[in-house]
């Protein structure tokens, strides 16, 4: 991991130097395995010698005096967001390609890193380009599916609108839960799982990242309610707005504070939506994850950053 005067925190371990100038290896996912001290990350879109767009998945081991990296061979097309899925697996979002479906893949955390496509459509209508995913304590899977792949010309014409879905793997039930966000992207739960946070990245569009300042760059909050024994989202409201770039990946800590990767680094809001502070990282942060005792792994294209917050900070996902 890297240290820079462009960052407001100086708690980067000097032993680590996770920089790769050959391609932007660190952009999405950020899945931490506390058993092996491995971090799994997805790259930005890359163009191979044949002109085909690809995304690489990299395993970064943080246990050694020097960070080691391994590019994982995978059949997941255009991987993006991801999350721990049990003790030995991950759930990756596949944005898909012109010939391969978008959907949710389960992948093992150990070699040979076997993967399996679990869900690819809504009653036969193929997903657009699934971006981020979170798993509820009851085992249900919630994910955001915007049309980024079509806009960036690596997916065919969409068959579905920009939406957030609830899927129950046990009985294959699936429902569209929210379409209030223009471009739903990141998604997470509050610690008590009573609130769902969804980032809206409508401010930035196109392959060249065109910015329209009249479009939103906000986080919406929904109450997670139960109606007739099934979940529903109610009381949609603006939780916070990112003033720099767009809010992309999003996580909560056990105190209910909300973290999101933005154009200037990682912004942190209170449970009521008051901006508490920023971890300033030059170039911004697309996604990140929390490790042990307040450590954050921030993904910034060609660099992986390690930031140390107070040891009392625990991420909701792993609780460590």
Q: Among the residues of the chain, which ranges form H helices?
A: 148-151
Share of the chain above pLDDT 70, in %: 94
Task: Give this prediction's pTM.
Answer: 0.93
Q: How far apart are CA 75 and CA 41, in angstroms?
A: 15
| Contact predicate 38/29, CB 8 Å | no
What's the pLDDT band for 115 if we cut at 50, 70, 90? Answer: very high
Structural domains of the chain in order of their starting residue, each with its CATH number = 28-308 (2.120.10.30)
pLDDT digits (tens, 9 = 90+) for 29-88: 999 999 999 999 999 998 888 888 899 999 999 987 778 899 999 999 999 999 999 999
Instruction: Give the residue from 228, 260, 221 showing the smallest Cα distance to 242.
Output: 260
Candidate from 30-34, 138-142, 207-211, 218-222 with smallest mean pLDDT = 207-211
Q: Are 248 and 220 in contact (CB under 8 A)?
A: no
Residue 148: phi and psi, rounded to 5, are -60, -40
Three-state secondary structure readout of 204-267: EECCCCEECCCCCCEEEEEEEEEECCEEEEEEEEEEEECCCCCCCCEEEECCCCEEEEECCEEE
pLDDT score at 50: 82
């Amino acid at each position: 991991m890297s240290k820079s005067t462009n960052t407001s925190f100086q708690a980067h371990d000097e032993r680590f130097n996770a920089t790769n100038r050959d391609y932007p290896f660190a952009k999405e996912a950020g899945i931490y395995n506390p058993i092996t001290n491995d971090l799994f990350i997805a790259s930005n879109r890359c163009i191979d010698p044949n002109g085909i767009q690809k995304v690489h998945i990299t395993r970064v081991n943080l246990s050694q005096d020097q960070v080691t990296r391994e590019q994982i061979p995978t059949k997941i097309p255009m991987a993006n967001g991801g999350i721990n899925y049990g003790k030995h697996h991950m759930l990756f979002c596949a944005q898909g390609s012109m010939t391969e479906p978008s959907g949710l893949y389960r992948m093992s955390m150990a070699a040979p890193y076997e993967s399996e496509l679990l869900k690819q459509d809504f009653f036969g209508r193929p997903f657009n380009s699934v971006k981020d995913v979170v798993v509820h304590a009851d085992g249900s899977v919630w994910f955001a599916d915007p049309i980024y792949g079509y806009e960036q010309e690596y997916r065919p014409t969409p068959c579905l609108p920009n939406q957030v879905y609830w899927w129950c793997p046990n009985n294959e039930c699936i429902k569209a839960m929210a379409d209030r966000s223009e471009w739903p992207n990141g998604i997470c739960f509050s610690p008590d799982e009573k609130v769902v946070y969804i980032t809206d990245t409508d401010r930035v569009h196109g392959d060249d990242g065109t910015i329209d300042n009249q479009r939103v760059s906000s986080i919406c909050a929904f109450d997670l309610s139960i109606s007739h024994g099934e979940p529903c989202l109610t009381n949609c409201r603006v939780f916070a707005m990112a003033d720099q770039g767009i809010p992309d990946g999003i996580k909560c800590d056990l105190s209910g504070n909300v973290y999101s990767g933005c154009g200037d680094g990682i912004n942190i809001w209170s449970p009521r939506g008051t901006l508490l502070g920023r971890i300033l990282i030059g170039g911004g942060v697309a996604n990140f994850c929390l490790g042990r005792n307040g450590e954050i792994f921030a993904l910034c294209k060609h660099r992986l950053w390690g930031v140390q917050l107070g040891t009392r900070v625990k991420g909701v996902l792993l609780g460590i």
